[in-house]
Structure 1
Amino acid sequence: MDKARLIPANTHNPYWSNSHHRHFIRGVIRFLTYLCAFFLMAIAYWIADNFGEPSLEQLLYHAQFGMGGLVDTDAAVIKSFLVWCVALPILGSLLLVLIEYSIALFITHGSTHWLTKPARLANIHFIKVFYWFIGHRAPLYALTAAAVYFGIQFSVTIFLHNLFGKDYFAAHYLNPIAVKVEAVQPKNLVLIYVESLENSYKEPKLFGKNLLSSLDHLKGLSFTDYKKAPGTWWTIAGITATQCGVPLKSVSLYDGNDQGEKMKTFLPNAVCLGDILHDAGYHNVYMGGDALGFAGKGMFFKDHHYDEVYGRDELKGKLTDAELNFWGLYDDHLFAAAKAKLIALHKKQQPFNLTVTTIDTHGPDGHISSYCKSLGVKTFEGIVECTSNQVAGFVKFIKKSGYLKDTNVVILGDHLAMENPVSDKLDRVKERLIFNQFISNSHFEKSRNYILPFDMFPTILDFIGFKVQGGKLGLGYTAFSKEIDMSRMPDYEEMNQDLLNQSDIYLDLWKRKTIP
């Protein structure tokens, strides 16, 4: 019997065609379908493995900055992305298409073709059943499964709810333009954001000791119930929430901005901490170890009246590549530069705000500086302790220099820790809370222990001697004033559910600047 007649010519075999062109097109379509499926699964797994469980909003936000933001990330993260999300999906798709092609040739040509060798290793009847009932639809099945996995991983149902739910933001946002903020007894501000710092690191049951003991010894005032909130889960989002009293979310999906073009301004219609301090005569300075281009961080500070903005490229000076980590400056070099800047600012006799962001405790693995290595640090727990010691050392320098007479210090975790080598231990904590500490020579009394990132905006202003009329700015309520009616504060569960819903008022904050 002619082997070419093993199956009818009118079957649905995608490779059965007298036209080599059609045969090639079908193969390409199957390859691209597999590639889309494997890419969706790979990127969902890769993001979870490197960054924990970010929301779809967070993913879309970073996408707004395109490749310009990507190239400023950790080189090891980029390499991992290329391996897991590019190379493996391509190789996997090619392999599957070749296997399918081998099976198709085996069914149509028997064992006469060299590509049929893999198929000859299996039973011919099994191959026929599998191929005709499952195989020719396999790319579609794979793409469907990948879409479901991706949707579960990034809570797409929640994202869809955000598109069509009620406008929570408009109902609760108080534009700072409408609030009287006056400097009563203003002090300088040193604001330190410590990467991924949370109270869980204090647990001896988890880590054998309190990794943040050096910070506790500073005996500052802390809010013991500092919770995360929607749209504040990553660094620039945490900064935006604590300085502007608003969440951070993707806006291009709603207003039609070109995804391929970098955003030109950062919340230009929002009034933030830097804007208020600028109007009060402050000189604002930002210093961070990573690149200013990543996630629009540099744009945020420049657009909100920071007079000097320094990132990796501006601070590295004569440091060699061997003295930098993949993100940029290690924390020891960063604090050395911050000390020099603090001395210079204090000499000017002009009120100032020095904001610093650290990076050594950044996931997924952290970065061990030469300073920490000299102390014997080899683990991620050691990095956390070494960084907290360096922050404490910087504050001790401020105290020893006598700067606390006219300067107050605020230390904040920018957000809860994401995926890192001790995530399994952190996940055992029933309620994870963000680290915070307020240090001053003056006496302060808390009106409550419960606080959110948005509340930090008016609370910090209150802390450095500003009077906020009504105690509210943006979505935040000061935690030092006893004038706040606690019964009128928003419900936390309702905020979690609806804050990121589409809002025209929120979009207005991103439009062309209309305030002076």
Structure 2
Amino acid sequence: MSKTLRYIVFYVSGILLILPFWIFGTFGSGITIEQMLFHLLSGAEGMAGTDIGLKKSFVLNNLVWPLAFPAIVATTDLLIAKFAGLRLKSGAGKALNIFCTLFFIVSALTFVYKVNLYQYVRSRLGKDTFSGIYADPKQIRFRTPQHKKNLILIYVESLEDKLLDLGPTHINAIGPIEDLPGYRVPNFIQAPGTGWSIAGMISSQSSIPLKPFYKSDVGNYARNGYFPNLSSLGDILAKQGYAQYFLVGPDLHFSGMDQFYLSHGYNVAIGRDEWRKRGLDQSLFTGWGEGLHDDTLLDESYKFIQFCRSQKQPFAITIMTTDTHFPDGFPSPRCPKDEAAEGFVGAFRYTSRYLSGFINRLIAEGILKNTDIVIMGDHLFMSSSEQEESFFDYSENRHVYFKVISSDNRRPNRDIMTHFDVAPTILDLLGMLRSSDTWFGLGISLFSRIPASAYERHLKQVTSEEILSPSVVYDRFWSTR
């Protein structure tokens, strides 16, 4: 083995050894290999807008620090060349080659074990459960209500029930949201393929898990749109004549948010660059991914809602907040200093209070007369190792937060759900399902009269890793034909 090759192998081995520890130390034990592969395969376009702090941490820990391994070996080579005899040089070279090979094997095995690659390969070889239980929305005949209600759908970054009772001191970081009227579903299970932001949004609006894509015809990051052959909530509302808006603080290109929303019925999508073009002060862009903070986003969203209410067209506005993003939150400059010093807990306190004020203001103005409001987490909080020890415990049952605020007196017929059940529940609330028992994708409305035992069997299927196995039906979603 040449010295150059040896240095390269030591460097690659160092990356393989360090990377999984950085991943789980940064994102917590809840991160999955599907999420890792999704972002890896999305390329530079899909990673646009990633927070600069996260980028710096990745480069420093996974690209710079591994240079120490070949540097140590190079120093050893220099010392041997300078001080060792010919026989010792030959023996030392062989020993370094053997050590290099062993180090690579150990690093590779560590990587495979830490990222649970074996389990991922098993799921890729599993049976096609998805195709057998997916109910194609294109085959559903939807009602056209005489009086169409509006929709405000708010995704709060990493919002989960555990935030109501954190750690041994029982901190309630989201009390103002919990105090809002409406009903909360206490058992919202995070199924495979739903555990990061874009996955949480797609799964809740399309009732499918998000899987990494591999085929060459979609390799250029959704060139022809995000799931061009998939029928989503936005597509259905568009056919019903809704004006639809997606509002977020950071870059729309991150994870292809613009691709998904604009190819599924939304008329307008606004993120960091669009807010700048609308004349917002540059000093406001200090949030996650150099985007707007939640308070400013909600202030601007209020203006959009007021505009939409002045029109005769029904509307659906989807808002995605980001100040409560892991690892420590990104508190707004307007957040009180004592709360900002609390890290992610303070970020949740402030965003919750501001969101509560935003909702209560709309309620006081009579918004509920013709509008349903849904507040939900996009996924569970990705707690770091230290946060898991102090506040969270992945051995406990953790649930995504989900609340419906509506003047409708209907109440859910069950207290358990997944992301897949969100879209049919919303369509049911809006009066577009002919029957609450209509299945939509992998989802079933909360108002369905499905027997508990039948839903339990369904839940077991959609929360199994096999739901991510290769599927002929799923692959068709990417087809443009």
TM-score w.r.t. the length of structure 2 is 0.92
Contact 1:461–1:467 (CA under 8 A) maintained in structure 2: yes
Asked if the contact 1:221–1:439 (Cα under 8 Å) also holds between the matched residues in 2, the reply is yes
Runs of 4+ in 1 over 6 A off after TM superposition: none
What aligned pairs does 1:358-369 form with structure 2 within 5 A after superposition? 358-369=321-332
Q: Counterparts of 2:9 and 2:99 in 1: how far apart (Å)? A: 10
Pairwise CA RMSD: 2.2
User: Secondary structure, in 3 states, of the residue corresponding to 2:301?
Assistant: helix
- Residue 115 of structure 1 is matched in structure 2 by none
Contact 1:64–1:260 (Cα < 8 Å) also in 2: no
* 1:487 and 2:453 are equivalent in the alignment: yes
Q: Is the 8 A contact 2:46 2:221 kept in 1?
A: no
1:156-195 superposed Cα distances (whole Å, 9 cap, x missing partner): 1122112211001111111101112213353100000000
Task: Give the match's secondary structure for 1:99.
Answer: helix
By how many angstroms is 1:209 displaced?
A: 3.4
Change (3 A) 1:497 1:69: closer
Instruction: Supply the AA of the counterpart residue of 1:51.
Output: F
2:61 to 81, 84, 88: 84
Checking the alignment, whether the CA contact within 8 Å between 2:153 and 2:373 is kept in structure 1 is: yes
Mapping of residues 411-430 of structure 1, within 5 Å: 411-420=375-384, 422-424=387-389, 425-427=391-393, 430=396
SS in 1 for 2:316: strand
- Identity percentage over the alignment? 29
Secondary structure at the aligned position of 2:195 is classed as coil
| Residue aligned with 2:380, SS | coil
SS in 1 for 2:433: strand
Say whether 1:187 aligns with 2:149. yes
Distance 1:322 1:338 in 2: 15
Assess, with a 3 A threshold, how the Cα gap between structure 1 residues 284 and 82 changes in structure 2: closer, same or farther: same
1:65 Cα deviation from its structure 2 partner:
2.2
Letter in 2 for 1:477: I
Is the CA contact 1:191–1:354 (under 8 Å) kept in the aligned structure 2? yes
Give the unaligned 5+ runs of structure 1.
1-13, 15-25, 111-123
Aligned to 1:235: 197
- What is the deviation of 1:199? 0.4
Separation of aligned partners in 2, 1:105 and 1:262: 55
Alignment check: 8 A CA contact 2:218 2:478 kept = no
Partner of residue 48 from structure 1, selected from 11, 24, 29: 24
| CA–CA distance in structure 2, aligned partners of residues 428 and 452 of structure 1 | 18
Are the equivalent residues in 2 in contact too, given 1:245–1:456 (CA < 8 A)?
Answer: yes
Shift of 1:264: 3.4
Q: Which amino acid aligns with 1:354?
A: I
Read off the aligned partner of 1:399 and give its amino acid letter: I
Matched residues in 2 for 1:321 and 1:218: separation? 31
| Whole-Å separation in 2 of the counterparts to 1:321 and 1:68 | 25
Structure 2 match to 1:438: 404
Residue 207 of structure 2 is aligned to residue 245 of structure 1: yes
1:237–1:247 CA contact under 8 A, matched in 2 = yes
Q: Which runs of 5+ in 2 are unaligned?
A: none
* Aligned-residue offset at 1:428: 6.5
Q: Which residue of 1 aligns with 2:39?
A: 62
Q: 1:303 aligns with which of 263, 274, 277?
A: 263
SS of 1:499's equivalent in the other structure is: helix
1:303-452, aligned counterparts within 5 Å?
303-316=263-276, 317-321=279-283, 323-327=285-289, 328-373=291-336, 376-379=339-342, 380-420=344-384, 422-424=387-389, 425-427=391-393, 430-452=396-418
User: Following the alignment from structure 1 to structure 2, what is the Cα–Cα distance between the partners of residues 206 and 288?
Assistant: 34
Task: Name the SS for the 1:422 alignment partner.
Answer: helix
- Structure 2: how far apart are the matches of 1:429 and 1:349? 50
Please give the per-residue CA displacement for 1:186-237, whole angstroms capped at 9, x wherever unaligned: 3100000000011001116545432221112113111111010000010000
Quote the offset at 1:132 in angstroms: 7.3
- Paired position in structure 2 for 1:152: 113
* Contact 1:315/1:337, CA 8 A, preserved across alignment: no
Partner of 1:476: 443
Tell me, in whole angstroms, the C-alpha distance in 2 between the residues paired with 1:203 and 1:264. 44
- Residue 85 of structure 2 aligns to a residue whose secondary structure is helix
User: How far apart, in 1, do the equivalents of 2:63 and 2:431 lie?
Assistant: 52
| Superimposed CA distance per residue, residues 234-267 of structure 1 (whole angstroms, 9 cap, x where no aligned partner) | 0000001100000001121xx2347566643101
Using the alignment, how far apart are the partners of 2:321 and 2:36 within structure 1?
A: 22
User: 2:136 aligns to what?
Assistant: 175
Question: What residue is the counterpart of 1:269 in the other structure?
Answer: 229
Say if 1:34 and 1:348 are closer, same or farther in 2 by CA, change over 3 A: same
**Cα distance in 1, alignment partners of residues 109 and 338 from structure 2:** 47
**1:102-153 deviation digits (Å, cap 9, x = unpaired):** 336544359xxxxxxxxxxxxx9xx998x47853212221221121121122
Q: Which moved more, 1:365-374 or 1:75-84?
A: 365-374
| Aligned twin of 2:101 | 140
- Residue aligning to 1:222: 184
Partner of 1:264, secondary structure, is coil
* C-alpha separation in 2, matches of 1:375 and 1:348: 42
CA distance in 2, matches of 1:268, 1:423: 38
Deviations 1:419-445 (A, max 9, x none): 346332111661111111000112121
Q: Using a 3 Å threshold, how does the CA distance of structure 1 residues 34 and 413 change in structure 2: closer, same or farther? A: same
User: Greater CA radius of gyration, 1 or 2?
Assistant: 1
Equivalent residue number for residue 97 of structure 1 = 74
Q: 1:503 to 1:108 in 2, by over 3 A?
A: farther
Q: Deviations over 1:350-383 (max 9, x none)?
A: 1100000000000112101012136753112111
Q: Do the aligned residues in 2 keep the contact of 1:407 with 1:440 (CA within 8 Å)?
A: yes
State the 1:388 CA deviation: 1.1
Indicate if the aligned counterparts of 2:167 and 2:392 stay in contact, CA closer than 8 A. Answer: no
| C-alpha contact 1:198 1:432 (8 A) present in aligned 2 | yes
Do the aligned residues in 1 keep the contact of 2:250 with 2:287 (CA within 8 Å)? Answer: no
> CA separation in 1, counterparts of 2:446 and 2:99?
57
Equivalent residues of 2:288, 2:325 under 8 A apart: no
Structure 1 stretch 216-225 or stretch 65-74: which is displaced more?
65-74
Q: Deviations over 1:312-371 (max 9, x none)?
A: 111243322564224111101100110000000010021100000000000112101012
Query: Which residue identity does 2:254 align to in structure 1?
Result: F
Q: CA deviation at 1:491?
A: 4.6
Q: Residue 318 of structure 1: SS of its match in structure 2?
A: coil
Match of 1:22 in 2: none
